[in-house]
Structures are given as structure tokens and as C-alpha cells.
Amino acid sequence: MTTAAHQQPATDRNASTKGAISIRNVTKIYDPEGANVLAVDDCSLEIAPAEVCMIVGPSGCGKTTLLNAIAGFHSITSGQIDLDGEMLCGPDKPLADQGADRVVVFQNGALFPWKTLADNVAYGPIVQGLMNKADAREKAILMLSEAGLSGVADKYPGEVSSGMARRAEIVRALINDPKVLLLDEPYRAMDALTKSIMHESLLEVYDRTRVTIFFITHDLEEAIFLGDRVIVMTTRPARTKKIVEVKINRPRDYRLLSSEEFRILVQETKEAVHEEAVKAFEAGERELA
């Protein structure tokens, strides 16, 4: 709802000034064969520089639509999205340009299977013409080893575990020095243990780079553990239903998971999401009936 337009940025982040996303009254109507589907309805959201903004909501509610609009994969129907005060998409320009300032890490992983991890990471700087092949590779290998992946830099994605692949994918995004990291359920379908390693590694990356993170997930504990704020979306059409502020100091580690504070926040989020999930389920049953 429009009330969402007025929240303050979660915490005052030191130094970082880049990566502020302003989503104002964005609406998206898909029009497959004339049947209008309202995917996002008048959604507004201000994301501060260096914020970790977690988006949760029922399946198919339009979270990914929002991410696609920011990334420039899909157009919007009305409203406006700005990045650091500059319009990405809005009136007269429904589709944002794609650019390396907003790199996406996908649900199923999208490392190029035909390139080694080092060559995958080196890809961005090479295609943008920022570095020659040798320099880009050198930097890629350096960044991979910072992420604890030095031993597998010359392996192909098919040869490493899914956890390693996903870490490499985040390195591949970060080498472009993006303003925003767009993550679409990157740790879905991972076992709990791998997931917790992924979380720690992402937090470590975040503490180092202070990049703004737009993170879609279904996992509420993941949302509270990683986020500065958790945005609960309504069932389709997506609006912001509730915003949970996570005022827990960083750096965070896994002891947090058993704290009372954490439990309360998860519970609070769960109630909001559950309500929407029930609505989504009933709507689905109506459609089938």
C-alpha cells in the first residue's frame, strides 16, 4: 500500500552512498493473450545505500517481476524506479537498460557451464572492455581466493559443489563492482548446512563491500538473519504488506539464530506471510474450481 512509500532507510550506514533504489508506485500488468494479469500493484519501496533488503511473499506474488524490472529484463506498466537519483525506468521508458551496476544472481545458478570458474568471473570486465583477458583472469583468481575458492578456479561449474558454484557466482557479480546485487532465491534447494555456510559467506562479502542487496527469498529465518529490513509482500498483485525492521548489530553469526530477539522477529514475519499464503492458496483454489 502507499503507506510503504514513507519508511525511512533502516540503519544509517557509514560511508556508502551508492546503491539507493527508489521504487515509486510501480504497477505491472502482464497481458498474455488479452487476459490482463496484475502482477505488481502500486508498489513503493525506498532502499537505502548499502541496505540488505529482503523480499518475502507467497509464490508467484510478483517479487521476481519487481527484480526483473530493476534489472531491465521486463518493462513496467506505470510508476518509476530510480537508482541513486537517476531514473532506470518510468514514464516514457518502461524498460530499464541492462547494466553491470545491477548484477543478478539467479535461482538456479547461471554460471556458464563452458567456462571455468575463473573465466566466468573474468567475463564481466572483459565484455565491458575494462580489462584485457590476462588482467581480468588475474583479478578473478584473486577474488575467488578471497572467497575461499582458490583451489577450484580452473574447474568447470559442473565439477564443483552447488555451494561453491553459488559463491563463485556472487564473486562473478562483485567483480563488476555493482551498486546493487539482485539475488533471486539464490540458496533455494540447498540443504540447511550448505545454506548456513552460504549465509556466512554472503555476510562476509557484504561487510567487506557494503553493496546494496535486494534479496528475494521464501526462507523467513534467512530473511531475518541476513536483512536490515524484511519486506513482506501481499499475494498477487504484489504490494508491500508489512515491513519488519531487523535492528540486530552486524557482524552477525550463527549464535543469533537461537536468540529470543531473532525468534520474535521470525514469528512476527511468519504471521504476516502466513496470512498472505492462505489468501494465495484460496485464490488458487477458486481459480481451479
Q: Are 21 and 83 within 8 A, CB to CB? A: yes
Q: Closest approach of Cβ 133 to other proteins, in Å?
A: 12
> What are 200's three cell numbers?
556466512
CB of 125 to other proteins, least distance (A): 9
Torsion 274-280-283-285 (CA) sign: negative
In whole angstroms, the minimum distance from the beta carbon of 148 to other proteins comes to 20
Cross-strand bridge partners of residue 89: 81
| Nearer to other proteins (CB atom), residue 8 or residue 128 | 128
Which residue spans within 95-211 are E strands per DSSP?
102-105, 180-184
Cβ 211 to other proteins shortest distance, Å = 14
Q: Contact at 8 Å (CB) between 145 and 175?
A: no
> Is 137 or 239 the residue whose CB approaches other proteins more closely?
137
Beta bridge partners of 184: 216
Where are the alpha helices (H) located in 128-161, listed in sequence order? 133-146
CB of 110 to other proteins, least distance (A): 4
List interacting residues with other proteins (CB under 8 A): 71-73, 98-100, 102-104, 106, 108, 110, 112-116, 123-124, 127-128, 154, 156-158, 172-173, 176
Report the nearest approach of other proteins to the CB of residue 160 (Å).
Answer: 12
Cβ proximity to other proteins, 154 vs 207, nearer residue? 154
Q: Which of 115, 113, 107, 117 is nearest to 172 (CA)?
A: 117
Contact 256, 265 (CB under 8 A): no
Largest interatomic CA distance in the chain: 60
Q: Is 58 exposed, middle or buried (0-12, 13-18, 19+ CB in 10 A)?
A: buried
Residue 21: CB atoms within 10 A of its CB come to 23
73 or 80: CB nearest other proteins: 73
* Nearest-approach distance from CB 114 to other proteins, in angstroms: 4
Shorter beta-carbon distance to other proteins: residue 172 or 239? 172
Question: At its nearest, how many Å lie between other proteins and the CB of residue 173?
Answer: 8
Strand partners, 23: 45, 81
In this structure, what is the dihedral angle of CA atoms 111, 225, 50, 277, given to the nearest 10 degrees? 80
Looking at beta carbons only, is 26 or 103 nearer to other proteins?
103
Q: Which is nearer to other proteins, 40 or 71 (CB)?
A: 71
172 vs 229 by CB, closer to other proteins:
172
- Which residue has cell 505488481? 40
